[in-house]
């Protein structure tokens, strides 16, 4: 069935998109998170890809910017089934495609997420694609080029069913990490990356993040909420660095970190013997690795002092 994008995602786009009447594999449809905040530009780009492009979609951006949650929630609202593969440097091609497992005393073939998604015509979500050994990642290339999933172990070639899509995420654009911020990230094969449409995912705009946090913590004054958002953005700038300069710190404050920190802060405010700056610093010290990261602690302390939290 066709539904309005505005109705599904709450953004002002005058277009429609197909929603499954029946999901491919019901138990694989991600649960809908009613608190998910969709940015208009991201929904527009993802919808254009989904409607008109049969290549993969690669979402890249800094850690904690919401790449994977966006992919899951976008597909959840389309009633699509999602098979997930979480990449690591140790991942092997067989983990993508499947392998033999012992079951009830017998050795049986069990499809991996790529094969299962292809058979069902579902969505394959590959998290942390840029950490994969390039040889492992190239398992995707022939499939993204329109070929079958080759399973020589059982003499089978699985042609992806109509509806099969691939979404991948990574912290880099596939070109490696020049500053070493992300452990285990590797440069990926250019032929593979050419099979993906690319979409950069940044941290939430300040106004949108402040609005979200204001709704989550309605008892906190607006000035406190905005102060936390400003703090987070200052930390993120130090983490991301600049095109011609390395980052100053190796830890960031994502939106989920910020929600957790403000939750701690809301509880710590009940202490009568402490000041507001004490509450802020103590909440941050629970969320961030201050104890073993002197550079981070120094940077955050400087930011707090600059903002008047001495």
> Does the structure show a pLDDT above 70 at 114?
yes
Phi-psi region of 208 (alpha: psi -120 to 50; beta: other; left: phi over 0): alpha
Q: Which residues of 262-273 are buried (b: 16+ CB within 10 A; e: fewer)?
A: bebbbebbeeee
pLDDT of residue 121: 97
Tens of pLDDT, residue by residue over 9-46, are 999 998 999 999 999 999 999 999 988 999 999 999 99
Domain borders along the chain are 2-200, 206-306
Of the pLDDT bands very low, low, confident and very high (cuts 50, 70, 90), residue 69 is: very high
What's the average model confidence in pLDDT over 285-306? 80
Reduced to 3 states (helix: H, G, I; strand: E, B; else coil), residue 296 is helix
Phi-psi region of 172 (alpha: psi -120 to 50; beta: other; left: phi over 0): beta
How far apart are alpha carbons 62 and 233 in whole angstroms?
A: 13
Q: Per the CATH hierarchy, to which homologous superfamily does domain 2-200 belong?
A: P-loop containing nucleotide triphosphate hydrolases (3.40.50.300)
Helices H / strands E in the chain, number of each: 13, 11
What's the average model confidence in pLDDT over 74-83? 98
What's the average model confidence in pLDDT over 253-278? 90
Of the pLDDT bands very low, low, confident and very high (cuts 50, 70, 90), residue 245 is: low
């Amino acid at each position: 069935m066709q539904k309005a994008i505005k109705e599904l995602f709450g953004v002002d786009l005058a277009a429609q998109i197909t929603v499954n009447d029946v999901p491919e594999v019901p138990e694989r449809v991600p649960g809908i998170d009613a608190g998910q905040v969709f940015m208009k530009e991201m929904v527009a780009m993802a919808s254009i890809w989904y409607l008109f492009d049969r290549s993969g979609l690669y979402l890249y951006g800094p850690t904690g910017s919401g790449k994977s949650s966006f992919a899951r929630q976008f597909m959840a609202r389309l009633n699509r089934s999602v098979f997930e593969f979480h990449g690591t440097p140790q991942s092997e091609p067989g983990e993508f495609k499947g392998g033999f497992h012992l079951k009830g005393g017998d050795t049986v073939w069990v499809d991996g997420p790529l094969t299962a998604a292809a058979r069902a015509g579902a969505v394959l979500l590959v998290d942390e694609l840029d950490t994969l050994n390039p040889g492992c990642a190239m398992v995707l290339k022939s499939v993204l080029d329109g070929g079958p999933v080759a399973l020589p172990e059982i003499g089978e070639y699985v042609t992806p069913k109509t509806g099969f899509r691939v979404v991948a995420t990574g912290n880099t654009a596939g070109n490696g990490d020049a500053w070493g911020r992300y452990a285990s990230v590797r440069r990926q094969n250019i032929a593979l990356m050419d099979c993906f449409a690319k979409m950069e995912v940044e941290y939430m705009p300040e106004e949108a993040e402040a609005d979200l946090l204001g709704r989550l913590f309605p008892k906190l004054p607006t000035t406190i909420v905005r102060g936390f958002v400003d703090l987070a953005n200052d930390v993120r700038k130090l983490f991301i660095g600049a095109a011609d300069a390395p980052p100053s710190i190796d830890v960031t404050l994502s939106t989920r970190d910020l929600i957790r920190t403000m939750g701690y802060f809301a509880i710590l405010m009940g202490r009568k013997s402490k000041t507001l700056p004490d509450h802020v610093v103590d909440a941050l010290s629970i969320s961030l690795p201050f104890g073993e990261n002197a550079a981070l602690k120094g940077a955050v302390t400087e930011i707090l002092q600059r903002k008047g939290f001495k």
